[in-house]
Amino acid sequence: MLCFTVFADFYLRPPILFTVGKFPATTELVIPHPPLIPLCPPASNTLTPSFATHPRNSPVTLFLATLPKSPHFKYFLCHKSDTPPGAPGVLLTRFFRIAATVCLLLVFFIDVASGPTSSPRTESPLSFLAKPPASSGQSSTSRATPPTESADMPLAEAHSLLEKGNMNEAERLVRQYLQTHPDSADGHFLLGHILFREIQSEARLEKQLEGVQVLGAGASSANHGEEKARASLAEFTAGAKFHYPSASDLKVVALDYVLLGDYVDADKWLTNMLQWTPNDAEGWYYLGRTKYNENRFAEAVDAFQRCLKLDPRNLRAEDNLGLSYAGLGRKEEAAAAYQQAIDWQSGAVLKNPGPYIDLGDLLLDENRNEEAVFYLLQAIGVAPRESRAHELLGKAYARLEQLPRAQSELEKAIELSPQNASLHCMLAPVYSKQGFADKARIEFDRCATLAGSHSVPPTPRP
């Protein structure tokens, strides 16, 4: 059933006068409500050709019954066929309002009765698919959203296996389930979490986010990790076609992008996630790390402070707050943050080497080399296989002209990170100053080769 409302662009006349009897035509009566007199004939009888004869009038146009937000009704007089000109007339404005309203109500009830009609989507479905890898954290404790009560048992079993650390069997179950349920959002999201956890289990994501290394030492392992990160993003994209992801899903999406070095997209999805879960301290920490890697240090400071408000003794957040202050050139505040993080773990059995390394690095920047040695030795005591600590300690000894010690520390750093070009570049002049020309030449060549191949990017941490 179609319903139309007539809108005619009639000649706009002056305000209609309601004249009575013999009173002059200039007399106007204000009538708050329409008089109780017979209505004009139906509108179809009033729209006679004589109305269209005026040069300002246009032909009557029919529109589907969709009223504009502010309908503008034209006013015209309606005369009874047996009433001479000048006699009482009635405005049709109220008639058209009533007619339009009734028509719209009919359309509404017809639409409700017939159910919603499908219309093509004008927007593209949500996509997390990664862009080509950029030139180029911290392990997530976020859990996959448990399957809903209506989800099939295989997904619930796979989720249980994932929580127990049996990722291979969990992946097998979910892939088998998706073969017969390709439109399951829960299935795709769960597989995205599983693939991400597999990367975590290889101990690469934490080092990537903390800036110690990028996806392992070798190019093949790096490519393997990137492939899994892209596969994880593809599963979240597939699931988003059927249901919008949860906050925990978006967190993993963001960390997939961190793994790929795409901090812009990581920032986007972490920000989106935190709008839903603003009390997620871990989410604020990850956002701070992402902002830091984008060199948006002031925003990183804000994110780490938000994290610390929710988790006041978060040592990693305090350490990274210091890094962000250092990025802004606020070295006193940076040193205070590092020292605070060191103090918080003074009595701990297991300590984090990060604050010691970062404070030592800051002291080296200020040419306070002997003080730097003190903190860097503590860092190595906490984490003897931390390449960055040996690198900075070797740098400090070289400045102090303690070349044998510098050589020893740099050689240890290279043993831990053999593909780091900068380490070979630092060791070469140390050999040269001690008269080891052959060793120096080898290290210079190795430095040039690695720097030209870009096999391992420079360490992101300052």
- CATH code at position 460: 1.25.40.10
Domain that holds residue 27: 4-113
The pLDDT score that the predictor gives to residue 412 is: 97
* Number of domains composing the chain: 2
Q: Look at residue 437 and tell me if it is in a domain.
A: yes
Q: Look at residue 244 and tell me if it is in a domain.
A: no
The residue-averaged pLDDT of 198-209 equals 64
Confidence class of residue 350 from pLDDT cuts 50, 70 and 90? very high
The residue-averaged pLDDT of 420-443 equals 96
Domain boundary among 113, 141, 165: 113
Confidence class of residue 452 from pLDDT cuts 50, 70 and 90? confident
The residue-averaged pLDDT of 389-409 equals 98
Q: Look at residue 67 and tell me if it is in a domain.
A: yes
Confidence class of residue 143 from pLDDT cuts 50, 70 and 90? low
Q: Look at residue 41 and tell me if it is in a domain.
A: yes
Q: Look at residue 105 and tell me if it is in a domain.
A: yes
Domain boundary among 69, 85, 113: 113
Domain boundary among 58, 92, 113: 113
The pLDDT score that the predictor gives to residue 202 is: 73
Q: Look at residue 128 and tell me if it is in a domain.
A: no
Q: Which of 79-83, 256-260, 293-297 has the lowest mean pLDDT?
A: 79-83
In three state form, how does the secondary structure of the chain look? CCCEEEECCCCCCCCCCCCCCCCCCCCCCCCCCCCCCCCCCCHHHHCCHHHHCCCCCCCCEEEECCCCCCCCCCCCEECCCCCCCCCCCEECHHHHHHHHHHHHHHHHHHHHHHCCCCCCCCCCCCCCCCCCCCCCCCCCCCCCCCCCCCCCHHHHHHHHHHHCCCHHHHHHHHHHHHHHCCCCHHHHHHHHHHHHHHHHHCCCHHHHHHCCCCCCCCHHHHHHHHHHHHHHHHHHHHHHCCCCCCHHHHHHHHHHHHHCCCHHHHHHHHHHHHHHCCCCHHHHHHHHHHHHHCCCHHHHHHHHHHHHHHCCCCHHHHHHHHHHHHHCCCHHHHHHHHHHHHHHCCCCCCCCCHHHHHHHHHHHHCCCHHHHHHHHHHHHHHCCCCHHHHHHHHHHHHHCCCHHHHHHHHHHHHHHCCCCHHHHHHHHHHHHHCCCHHHHHHHHHHHHHHHHHCCCCCCCCC
Q: Look at residue 60 and tell me if it is in a domain.
A: yes
Q: Look at residue 72 and tell me if it is in a domain.
A: yes
